[in-house]
């Protein structure tokens, strides 16, 4: 039973975290569109560049696709050559960019339409209110979705571990021959 609760908390926490920036977007600071309502045909991609000057300490790149069931892939190449890829089946994907002084340069990103029909995308760039420490009471609960999701994942992991240890201990007691 405890293991099942741990699994449920992990799944719920992970699900909330995967979509957390959809909620946080409304309270992002210095938010602006990089690309607005641009069509990507099936199997095609668009690309763009984010300059060093556009970044804050903790920047979030958010991509929305319409229709929301559109399958898109976001690929971000950082100045050091590191590449990050994320896919979305619900028309929403994000990437957190940390502005590092030792890695100044442009960030390049591609959005690929992996679906069966054209999608229109809007790309938003803004400062993460939680990571940058600018959350305040005016932001409401949206600002705290991320730490809540992380908390659920951590509690789920701990519950899963404790439940597994209890299960193993109970199994050993049952299989141990009694004198």
* pLDDT at 111 (0 to 100): 94
Bridging pattern class, strands 107-113 and 72-77: antiparallel
Task: Please confirm whether the linkage preceding 152 is cis (ω < 30° from 0).
Answer: no
Dihedral sign, CA of 96, 101, 103, 105?
Answer: positive
Q: In CATH, what number does 2-142 get?
A: 2.60.120.380
* pLDDT at 138 (0 to 100): 56
* pLDDT at 83 (0 to 100): 92
Contact 62, 126 (CB under 8 A): yes
Give domain limits for the chain: 2-142
| Euclidean distance between CA atoms 3 and 163, whole angstroms | 5
* pLDDT at 23 (0 to 100): 57
* The 3-state secondary structure of 64-124, one letter per residue: EEECCCCCEEEEEECCCCCEEEEEECCCEEEEEEECCHHHCCCEEEEEEECCCCCEEEEEE
Which residue numbers in the chain have pLDDT < 70? 10, 12-27, 89, 130-147, 177-179
Classify residue 7 as exposed, middle or buried by CB count within 10 Å of its CB (0-12, 13-18, 19+). Answer: middle
Contact 50, 152 (CB under 8 A): no
Length reported for the chain: 179
| Euclidean distance between CA atoms 63 and 100, whole angstroms | 22
0.85 exceeded by pTM = no
* pLDDT at 91 (0 to 100): 77
* pLDDT at 40 (0 to 100): 94
Over the stretch 3-31, which tens digit does the pLDDT of each residue have? 777 777 767 666 655 555 555 666 677 78
């Amino acid at each position: 039973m405890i293991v099942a609760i741990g699994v449920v908390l992990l799944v719920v926490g992970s699900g909330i975290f995967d979509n957390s920036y959809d909620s946080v977007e409304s309270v992002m600071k210095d938010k602006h569109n990089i690309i607005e309502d641009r069509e990507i045909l099936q199997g095609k991609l668009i690309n763009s560049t984010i300059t060093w000057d556009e970044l804050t300490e903790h920047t979030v790149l958010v991509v929305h696709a319409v229709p929301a069931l559109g399958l898109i892939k976001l690929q971000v190449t950082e100045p050091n050559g590191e590449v990050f890829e994320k896919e979305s089946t619900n028309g929403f994907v994000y990437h957190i960019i940390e502005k590092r002084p030792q890695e100044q340069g442009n960030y390049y990103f591609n959005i690929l339409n992996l679906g069966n029909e054209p999608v229109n995308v809007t790309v938003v760039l803004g400062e993460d209110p939680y990571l940058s420490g600018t959350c305040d009471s005016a932001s409401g609960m949206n600002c705290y979705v991320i730490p809540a999701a992380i908390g659920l994942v951590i509690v789920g992991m701990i519950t899963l571990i404790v439940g597994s240890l209890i299960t193993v201990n109970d199994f050993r007691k049952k299989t141990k021959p009694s004198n």
